[in-house]
Amino acid sequence: MRTELVVVGAGPAGLAAALAADARGVRVTVVDAADGPGGQFYRQPAAELNARRPQALHHQWRTWERLRDGLAASGVRLLTGHHVWTVTGGPDSFTVHALLGPGQDEPATVHADAVLLATGSHEHVLPFPGWTLPGVVTAGGAQAMLKSGLVVPGRVAVVAGTGPLLLPVATGLAAAGTRVSALVESAGPRQVARHARALAGKLPEGAGHAARLLRHRVRPLARHTVVRAHGDDRLTGVTVAALDADGHVRRGTGRYLPCDTLAVGHGLLPQTDLAEGLGCHLDGATVTVDAEQRTSAPGVWAAGEATGVGGAALALAEGHIAGRSAAARLRGTEPDPAGWAPAARTREALRTAAAALDAAFAPPAHWAAQVTDDTVVCRCEEVTAGAVREAADGLGAGDVRTVKLLTRAGMGWCQGRMCATAVAGLTGCHSDPPRRPLARPVPLGILAGTAPDRAAPDRPAPDRPAPDRTAPDRAAPDRAAPDRAVSGRPVSESDRSPSEQASTGGLSSDRPPHGRLARDQNPPEAFEEGSP
Amino acid sequence: MSESLTCDVVVVGAGMVGAACALYAAREGLDVIVVDRGQVAGGTTGAGEGNLLVSDKEPGPELELALLSARLWTGLAEELGRETEYEPKGGVVVAETPEALAGLETFAAGQRAAGVSALGVTADRLHDLEPRLAPGLAGAVHYPQDAQVMPALAAAHLLRASGARLRTGRTVTGVLRGPGGAVRGVRTDRGDVHAPAVVNAAGPWGGEVAALAGVHLPVLPRRGYVLVTEPLPPRIRHKVYAAEYVADVASDSAALQTSPVVEGTAAGPVLIGASRERVGFDRSVSLPALRALAAGATRLFPFLARVRALRTYAGFRPYLPDHLPAIGADPRAPGLFHACGHEGAGIGLSTGTGHLIAGLLTGADPALDLTPFRPDRFCPEAR
């Protein structure tokens, strides 16, 4: 049966959208790269691990149960293990091109009348000396390991960087038996305290992260940063130092903390490759959407972190609105925003909160000053900070694209997802949103055999007026970083750091609900008042 | 920020051709300023493969320019070979059928008479040259003079070696004219640059720069895609392409044409071209074009079917209606020199072009007859 709406991404936004559209009689297919639904936020332990209390690592477990049960009871078709490399077509006929299988070497396509992009975000990590040592993992990667494999990365850990993700990572590691010796946050103590208090009020277990930090003797070091990771062939410790109010490292404040694991993160970046390829307008790093979550490309909706990082509760509200809008417009009717007013109120409040968090948890302004010339910035192509600086200062490169052309920084497996912001920061130059027409690496044999797009829906429904949209045919990209973070030159498996071996965890993560506002959020079914 | 500058010659365009003009002009003792509204190698240069080819050129003025350029590149490589990733790898043009091979042999015979080294390769020797080529090919011609550079590095390092002052992020908004219409420099959005000579090396935007001086130069963009694979150990030794590529290069069709062009790079990835379409400056990705590129490459090299494409990008070749560049002084605007319209061959032809322009600027006898490249050859009154 032909799909009317294809949803890319089975995280909170994608599932909320799929359920909202399904409830209105739309034939929905959801595709996702993972083995099961939930996305990074509701990442599940593998079934064979027989985890007894997977909810121990999750907030909003009941929300997840409702999504999961709703999905099971719905007519939504879920296609897992689909790694989408491009979406083509428009405005009323689209093709999702995906790769299947453990080797991502089998092609698959899904045809649909409309597309809803819920592609989420990926993790942002800025370089510092020693960050490529085995033992250094991303904060999201550490959490993904906890959630999916329940593997504890090390015995003594430091959690560092900035952002609301660090607290649950620190408490999650501590609860799993790792000694977390410090939580190093570059934001000031006031921001951290405010956020910790907000989180403390709403955990299902009734114990706040702040209280847990105390219980596990995790030392919070606000307005501090890791200036270097030490070790010969793997991590043995880190030097942390205090920051002044302007974001400079304060001299003489460095101290050594022994550890075998450093979980580090500097926030999340929206995944916009597929949207960009479909011709959707981007505002900086995020996909622009209207009040109905429609992108500028007719027939394409977007919801969740691709439209701005703001957490799972915001993604649920946006997904719900997007799903209802798409359902109405696929039926040729004007949607009634009054029907989703509760979700719209939640969306508004959480977007405001997200903006405040973004401002509070920015990386230190002068982080680049700590990056020595021999520090590798682009891990895929092994390009050092010195080479990047030489391209800017010696060869006149004035933007990230030119630095890439002259150094290869950003040309490798991850296509600059990890290093583009670092290159921009190191050189003080401008970074346009990169174009990645291939959202993930695709075998040439599959590319060569790609079936041409269908000119029209293969089963046009005579009882259904054509959707009111028009747009040019563009080709395009997906979500997610490549699952392989292999170096530019061939490397053996043992050469790869745990952060790379953490697979999706290497570049992706979730984010806890934000602040007090999250307490007022409506569960998905609460958005359904006034629904059919 | 506005600054007023003065020099002997201002080059508009910080791509490969502008860089070569700057280098050879500076080596003649001229004080050069290079302006570009974008960045170094930000246009066609940054989107190219860096081919220095004689193999795809039929006997005539372009081949003469290519042979001059190849000699100059060989000399430059002694100085900047490592920085520019210069690789004298040679080219191999393969024919899939006996008929195609016969055509290729005839083509090569003409080239040999014009001074090209073109060595016939029989089907049974083909895999000694390129072990991973598909079986069943009819034969090939080996061109040892073909070479490759990394084009963005080449432009950046030639610019640096020139010592020219580089002013990027500066858009030329007008051409300054003096009494009698003589060119006196350019106006930019960040100040004037005064010079008695202006070189238009703006590639596909060369027609726009010419229009600022009030002269007609019909440069148009011809879009091409490059597919880039994951890094591989060296497996493809030469630049390898199918014989039909030569016909596509010379074609006037606006529709999509693709012919497989495959080569390894010093950094590891394999580059796959070449598609040609006349669609204006549209950067959106066309899956049919990528599909055709992938199909052509895997037909020549079956092992590539399992190799992953990491990225793709579009570029715009600057072409003129007769597929020859515009090189020389413009009689309609004294002091204006053109060095643009090299289509897909600008990296290779840049050194010869820069050398010729420098000669014109200093009054030396040109190394080649410049008549076929006259910039005013497209205006009715010049015919």
**Cα(A415)–Cα(A420) distance, integer angstroms:** 9
To test the contact with chain A by mutation, choose from B279, B311, B313 the residue with the greatest count of A C-beta atoms within 10 A, namely: B311
- Percent of chain A topping pLDDT 70: 76
Query: Using the beta-carbon criterion (under 8 Å), do A401 and B39 form an inter-chain contact?
Result: yes
Most confident among A59-73, A155-169, B10-24 (mean pLDDT): B10-24
Q: What is the pLDDT of residue B29?
A: 97
**Tens of pLDDT along A210-263?**
677 778 888 889 999 999 999 999 999 999 999 998 999 999 999 999 999 999
Query: Using the beta-carbon criterion (under 8 Å), do B285 and A406 form an inter-chain contact?
Result: no
Sign of the torsion angle spanned by Cα atoms B204, B154, A375, A487:
positive
**Cα(B191)–Cα(B171) distance, integer angstroms:** 10
CB B157 within 8 A of CB B41: no
Q: How far is CA A285 from CA A293, A410, A431, A436, in A?
A: 16, 17, 10, 13
Contact partners, residue A487, CB within 8 Å, separation at least 6: A379, A380, A381, A382, A412, A495, A496
Instruction: Give yes or no for residue A492 having a pLDDT over 90.
Output: no
Say if residue A155 is in the same domain as residue A260.
yes
Shortest Cα–Cα distance, A304 to chain B (Å): 25
- Asked which of A213, A233, A265 is the last residue of a domain, the reply is A265
Say if residue A341 is in the same domain as residue A281.
yes
B34 interface with A at CB cutoff 8 Å: no
Query: Using the beta-carbon criterion (under 8 Å), do A399 and B39 form an inter-chain contact?
Result: yes
- Asked which of A210, A230, A265 is the last residue of a domain, the reply is A265
Say if residue A158 is in the same domain as residue A260.
yes
**Tens of pLDDT along B74-97?**
999 999 999 999 999 999 999 999
**Tens of pLDDT along A360-374?**
888 888 999 999 999
User: Could you tell me if residue A412 is inside a domain?
Assistant: no
Say if residue A148 is in the same domain as residue A116.
no
Query: Using the beta-carbon criterion (under 8 Å), do B231 and A401 form an inter-chain contact?
Result: no
Mean pLDDT, residues B294-316 taken together: 94
A325 interface with B at CB cutoff 8 Å: no
Element (H, E) at A263: strand A261-265
CB B346 within 8 A of CB B358: no
- Asked which of A197, A230, A265 is the last residue of a domain, the reply is A265
Say if residue A256 is in the same domain as residue A141.
yes
Say if residue A87 is in the same domain as residue A106.
yes
Our CA angle for B48, B324, B119, nearest 5°, is 70
Per DSSP bridges, beta strands A28-31 and A3-8 are parallel
- Binning pLDDT at 50, 70 and 90, where does residue A207 land? very low
Instruction: Give yes or no for residue A146 having a pLDDT over 90.
Output: no
Say if residue A253 is in the same domain as residue A273.
no
pLDDT top residue among A342 and A355: A342
SS3 B334: coil
Q: What is the pLDDT of residue A458?
A: 36
The separation between CA B46 and the C-alpha centre of its own chain, rounded to angstroms, equals 11
B383 interface with A at CB cutoff 8 Å: no
Element (H, E) at B210: helix B206-212
CATH number, domain of A281, equals 3.50.50.60
User: Could you tell me if residue A433 is inside a domain?
Assistant: no
Query: Using the beta-carbon criterion (under 8 Å), do B157 and A395 form an inter-chain contact?
Result: yes
Say if residue A141 is in the same domain as residue A260.
yes
- Ranges assigned E (strand) in chain B: 5-6, 9-12, 32-35, 51-52, 91-95, 119-122, 139-143, 147-148, 165-167, 172-177, 183-188, 191-194, 197-200, 220-231, 239-242, 257-264, 269-276, 308-319, 326-329, 336-340
**Tens of pLDDT along B341-362?**
999 999 999 999 999 999 999 9
Mean of per-residue pLDDT scores for chain A: 81
**Cα(A511)–Cα(A13) distance, integer angstroms:** 13
Say if residue A146 is in the same domain as residue A74.
no
Mean pLDDT, residues B308-330 taken together: 95
Most confident among A30-39, A389-398, B158-167 (mean pLDDT): B158-167
User: Could you tell me if residue A198 is inside a domain?
Assistant: yes
User: Could you tell me if residue A492 is inside a domain?
Assistant: no
Phi-psi region of A464 (alpha: psi -120 to 50; beta: other; left: phi over 0): beta
Least confident stretch, A154-158, A203-207, B7-11 = A203-207
Contact partners, residue A461, CB within 8 Å, separation at least 6: none
For B288, the closest of A402, A436, A452 (CB atoms) is A452
Mean pLDDT, residues B191-206 taken together: 97
Q: Which of residues 316-345 of B touch A (CB under 8 A)?
A: none
To test the contact with chain A by mutation, choose from B271, B284, B287, B293 the residue with the greatest count of A C-beta atoms within 10 A, namely: B287
Say if residue A167 is in the same domain as residue A194.
yes
* Domains identified in chain A, total number: 2
- Binning pLDDT at 50, 70 and 90, where does residue A488 land? very low
3-state helix, strand, coil in chain A (%, to 5): 35, 20, 45
To test the contact with chain A by mutation, choose from B236, B290, B308 the residue with the greatest count of A C-beta atoms within 10 A, namely: B308
Instruction: Give yes or no for residue A151 having a pLDDT over 80.
Output: no
Q: How far is CA A43 from CA A64, A170, A394, B60, B260, in A?
A: 10, 18, 46, 65, 43
Query: Which has the closest alpha carbon to A91: A301, A288, A305, A276?
Result: A301
B256 interface with A at CB cutoff 8 Å: no
Q: End-to-end distance of chain B based on CA atoms, in angstroms? A: 45
Residue pairs spanning A and B at CB distance below 8 A:
134
Amino acid identity of residue B189, one-letter, is D
Q: What is the DSSP string of A84-130?
A: EEEEEE-SS-EEEEEEETTTT-EEEEEEEEEEEE---EEE-----TT
Containing structural domain, residue A276: 2-122+269-356+509-530
Tally the C-alpha atoms within 13 A of residue B144's C-alpha that lie toward its C-beta. 6
**Cα(A11)–Cα(A67) distance, integer angstroms:** 10
Q: What token pair was written down for A371?
A: 């990056």
Q: What is the DSSP string of B247-316?
A: HHHH----S-EEEEEEEE-TTSEEEEEEEEB--SS-----HHHHHHHHHHHHHH-GGGGGSEEEEEEEEE
User: Could you tell me if residue A435 is inside a domain?
Assistant: no
Contact partners, residue A440, CB within 8 Å, separation at least 6: A83, A84, A85, A99, A104, A478, A480, A482
CA dihedral of A419, A422, A426, A432, whole degrees rounded to 10: 90
User: Could you tell me if residue A107 is inside a domain?
Assistant: yes
For A448, the closest of B156, B166, B291 (CB atoms) is B291
Least confident stretch, A346-355, A434-443, A469-478, B374-383 = A469-478
Say if residue A29 is in the same domain as residue A44.
yes
Query: Using the beta-carbon criterion (under 8 Å), do A395 and B40 form an inter-chain contact?
Result: yes
Mean pLDDT, residues A86-98 taken together: 94
**Cα(B57)–Cα(A348) distance, integer angstroms:** 62
Cβ atoms within 10 Å, residue B382? 11
Our CA angle for A253, A259, A264, nearest 5°, is 75
A296 interface with B at CB cutoff 8 Å: no
Q: What is the DSSP string of A367-398?
A: GGGG--TTSEEETTTTEEHHHHHHHHHTS---
Instruction: Give yes or no for residue B381 having a pLDDT over 70.
Output: no
**Tens of pLDDT along B103-144?**
999 999 999 999 999 999 999 999 999 999 999 999 999 999
Q: Which residues of A touch B298 (CB under 8 A)?
A: 444-445, 448
**Cα(B177)–Cα(A456) distance, integer angstroms:** 56
ipTM: 0.91
Q: Phi and psi of B289, rounded to 5°?
A: -65, -45
Say if residue A140 is in the same domain as residue A259.
yes
Mean pLDDT, residues A163-172 taken together: 88
Cβ atoms within 10 Å, residue B247? 13
Helices first, then strands: H and E counts in chain A: 14, 22
Which position has the token pair 């490969």?
B16
User: Could you tell me if residue A258 is inside a domain?
Assistant: yes
User: Could you tell me if residue A365 is inside a domain?
Assistant: no
**Tens of pLDDT along A411-465?**
888 888 888 889 999 988 777 777 888 999 999 999 998 755 443 333 333 333 3
- Residue A184's beta-bridge partner residues? A160, A221
